[in-house]
Amino acid sequence: MSEKISVLISEQDVDARIKEIAELISHEYEGKTITLICILKGSVFFTCELAKRVTIPVRLDFMSVSSYGSGTESSGRVRIVKDLDDSVEGKDIIVVEDIIDSGRTLNNLLSLLSARKPNSIKLCTLLDKPDRRVVPVNVDYTGFEIPDKFVVGYGLDYDQKYRNLPYIGVVEL
Ligand code: IMP
Ligand code: MG
């Protein structure tokens, strides 16, 4: 079975916005080294494209979490599937996410990482669905705010498919 996908945000628009965020981060963290924390698997494409355009020194680390919960609603209690390789203590870290929906996962993840005493912690997300927010999350860098639609591409999947689309699309079910 294959679904019809319509373009919501084009490849050019995504690229242009990532470049802007990278410039902002490079400016705000001038003279520092940042650690980008890629939340697998969804933010892998975004993290790479962002890292390529940041002009200050960048470290990369990867984490994979799954939220407990049934069906499509995440409970937000995060289980670490793959932890970071390095300690974040004393470091300037930026958590890079693909999308913030209810906010439950991120809210939990941010408190978990804050407890490890980084020097600073910020959150960068490619997409945000503010209408869906259940738990407040303070987002520092947002690519695009989007309506409450299920999107794929640029790392985001539908049943593990479509992560490799170079644009953000909406699944027409
Ligand atoms: P929440 O903010 O805890 O509800 O969960 C956010 C996670 O749900 C994201 O990291 C995605 O993995 C997934 N998710 C939410 N909305 C979408 C979507 O539109 N497409 C694909 N995955 C989504
Ligand atoms: Mg995710």
Domain ranges for the chain, please list them: 11-148
Report the mean per-residue pLDDT for the chain: 94
H runs (alpha helix) in 64-133:
104-114
More confident residue, 52 or 68: 52
User: Whose atoms come closest to the Cα of 146: which ligand?
Assistant: 1
* Catalytic residue IDs: 101
Q: Label residue 71 by pLDDT band (50, 70, 90).
A: low
Asked whether residue 46 carries a pLDDT value surpassing 60, the answer given is yes
Q: Label residue 17 by pLDDT band (50, 70, 90).
A: very high
- Tell me which architecture the domain covering 11-148 has in CATH: 3-Layer(aba) Sandwich (3.40)
155 lines ligand 1 (CB under 6 A): no
43 lines ligand 1 (CB under 6 A): no
Query: pTM to 2 decimals?
Result: 0.94
172 to each of 74, 139, 167, how far by Cα in Å?
A: 23, 29, 15
